[in-house]
Amino acid sequence: MEKLTLYIEQNEFIIHTEKTDLSNLRVCLGDQSKFFKKLTATTWSISAEQLLLLCAKENRTRLFIYYTDNRQEIDGTKFDVEFGQSLTLTNDKSIFYAYISLNNKIRMSINQKPSARSYYLSNEPVTINTVNNNIEFTLSIQSKFAPLLKANLLLLNRQEGHTLEIIDTQIDSVRIQPNVYQNNCVFHISPELFFETLRPSFNYNEFDTTLVDFYFTIQIRQGSTTKYKFRIPFSETFGTEVWCSYSDEKMASLFLYQTINGNLSTRIALLSNESYCEYQSLLNTAEMKDNNIVLVCEYPYKAQDNGFYFFRYLMTKQNKFVPYYIITDDSKDLKKLKPYMDHVVIFKSKEHIRLLFEATYLMHTHASNYVLPFFSKELEAKKNAMKKIFLQHGITAAKNMEPFYGRKTNPKLTDKIVVSSQRELRQIHEQLYYPPEDIKITGLARFDDLLKKTNLIKNRLFKRKILIMPSWRKDQDKLTSEEFQQTTFFGYYSDLISDPALEKLVKENGLTINFYLHNNFQKYKDLFHSNFVNILNAGDQTVHHLLKKHGVLITDYSSVGLDFAIQRRKVLYFQFDNDQKEIKENLESSHLFLPGPIFATKEQLLPAIQKATEDNRLETAYVNIVKTQLYPYYDSNACQRIFQVLEEL
């Protein structure tokens, strides 16, 4: 193959061939051209001054190089291309870059770096393991037309945007065929730097959902290129777990996995040395046993939802199964589990890991993955092999939850799912694709406590206590305080809790009003102010307790309205922004089973509040909705019905 050489000499761009005559070689910008100077029969040059004259009247960045009268471009694939030390021309006003385009043509640009993609062919991860307690990652990159001078590894926290750039790279480059170079790059990452940069707020006791994606940038020796981020594919050639020491007490883990697009990403974790040793020991010795051990979990730091109430049932009402509750050692809810501490297992402890290898059953209120102390293929396999019941954490209302809990998207999520009505069964079947035989109408475990000793007389005792508990709004939890104060949500609720007419109603009737923001909005709590409404802190009281101890609920789209109505207490829906696309779609499918009137303005809502405090009984029409659409039972036997599902599993 004929050699084509491109280089800069004395601030002139020079093109040299071995035998091809590039007749009428010129640089063009629109209709304007500047011709190369012919130095020899196969050598041509053009100066930065000539290029500047060409660009003086045009505000463009791309210059085309043609030869022959037919405006033919030089195709790099037809030659064995060789670059000199530089491909950059400079003067006082501009920088000119000679480069090879994405479609392999020789071109120039002014004041715009060429795309790094022009010199990229492919990449393949080779190994990732631990060397001298650092993570060593070897990546093979094939480049075209030039070997790589630099390759920087970029690790990106997908959720939070934190980026770690590894620039200390060892590169070995070999020309494997004309215009193709094999570049083997070795990167070293310390676990401390990894966590401090990518997950600075890491909490050991959390179930961490951080996802880290792998990218890299490249640079050739001959000139600057754009910092295009190339994705790294997943490879089956290396293991999915990488462990290294993080400190004297803890080990760090990378769980490598393949994204839906086939790329390399990792989940991360920290684990105590004691638990790590237990895990490694069990990998070689443990066998799944057919026993009656039942693991129960909510979020790892909580014991206040259906998991807790069913666990309590298992501890007090039966002796067939041996239950264990998984919870963090810093949870505020540990005090609720005090009577059962012999069956409480601390999240990430060696006992937690041992039980994952042994237990036969799993009862979960959210994704079943929350039972895992960290991600690994082995632990996922153990979890998948368990017989699982999804206790849910609320009545499925209008929103399609298939991406989170659907059988198609998450086939290993669970085996059985409990629901509260025939309507909900149909929705779970149609939207989440569970077969009817895997859906059981039992009611939610917490309903037993919610309805315990509930009657019309007890309901009236709380009629002067009003709870305002709205849902959150998608993406608004990411706003700054200043941005949040500009939202419709803040404006309407801030106006409601400071309204003089409502304040007068409170004082004249001895009312108590409590305002409880959704967990995703709790960080904005201090932005709300009122002289007569209490702004509650999350964690001081459970949502379940609040629903039991109030007689009137004001909400918008939250499923707490469904729980509240089951008590036969009045729910008022304050929906001032139901024109939003996502909300509108949900409401169109839920209007048949919302157990309360809907108000769009504060002026409509205030008279309804006064009326509700006089009589907080749920109207007959809404009681019928509860019976037919939400929960046909009005008893405290939901846990007993769920227990029957467990026995049959």
pLDDT grade for 458, boundaries at 50, 70 and 90: confident
pLDDT value at position 580?
60
Rg of the Cα atoms in the chain: 33
pLDDT value at position 540?
82
Q: Which of 430, 459, 384 is nearest to 613 (CA)?
A: 459
pLDDT digits (tens, 9 = 90+) for 167-218: 978 899 999 999 999 999 999 999 999 999 999 999 999 999 999 999 999 9
Q: Are strands 32-35 and 26-29 parallel, antiparallel or unpaired?
A: antiparallel
C-alpha angle 556/557/563, rounded to 5°?
Answer: 100
Q: What is the dihedral of CA 118, 120, 122, 124, to 10 degrees?
A: -150
Can you list the alpha helix ranges (DSSP code H) found in 535-595? 543-548, 560-566, 581-590
Task: Write out the DSSP string of 223-266.
Answer: B------EEPBP-TTS-SEEEEE-SSSEEEEEEEEE-TTSBEEE
Whether domain 451-630 has CATH 3.40.50.12580: the reply is yes
CB half-sphere exposure, 380, CA atoms < 13 A:
13
In whole angstroms, give the CA distance from residue 356 to residue 279: 10
> Which of residues 59 and 14 earns the better pLDDT score?
14
pLDDT digits (tens, 9 = 90+) for 413-455: 999 999 999 999 999 999 999 999 999 999 999 999 999 877 7
Structure tokens at 546: 């609040």
Task: Tell me if 397 sits within 8 A of 590, measured CB to CB.
Answer: yes
Q: What is the CATH number of domain 286-443?
A: 3.40.50.11820
> Which of residues 61 and 581 earns the better pLDDT score?
61
Q: Quick one: which H or E segment has residue 323?
A: strand 322-327
Can you list the alpha helix ranges (DSSP code H) found in 126-272? 191-198
CB atoms within 10 A of CB 21: 12
Residue 481 dihedral angles phi and psi, to the nearest 5°:
-60, -40
> Which of residues 358 and 585 earns the better pLDDT score?
358
Task: Tell me if 228 sits within 8 A of 205, measured CB to CB.
Answer: no
Instruction: Find all residues with CB under 8 Å of 476, minimum gap 6, and list them.
Output: 484, 487, 489, 521
DSSP label of 391: -
Q: Could you tell me which CATH class the domain 118-273 is placed in? A: mainly beta
In whole angstroms, give the CA distance from residue 275 to residue 46: 68
| Alpha-carbon distances of 3 from 81, 82, 143, 179, rounded to whole Å | 6, 7, 18, 10
pLDDT digits (tens, 9 = 90+) for 28-71: 998 889 999 999 999 999 999 999 888 876 677 899 999 999 99
SS3 488: helix
Residue 211 dihedral angles phi and psi, to the nearest 5°:
-120, 125
Stated pTM of the model: 0.87
Residue ranges covered by each domain of the chain: 3-114, 118-273, 286-443, 451-630
Task: Tell me if 81 sits within 8 A of 220, measured CB to CB.
Answer: no
Could you check whether 286-443 and 451-630 share the same CATH topology? Answer: yes
Task: Tell me if 6 sits within 8 A of 87, measured CB to CB.
Answer: yes
pLDDT value at position 485?
97
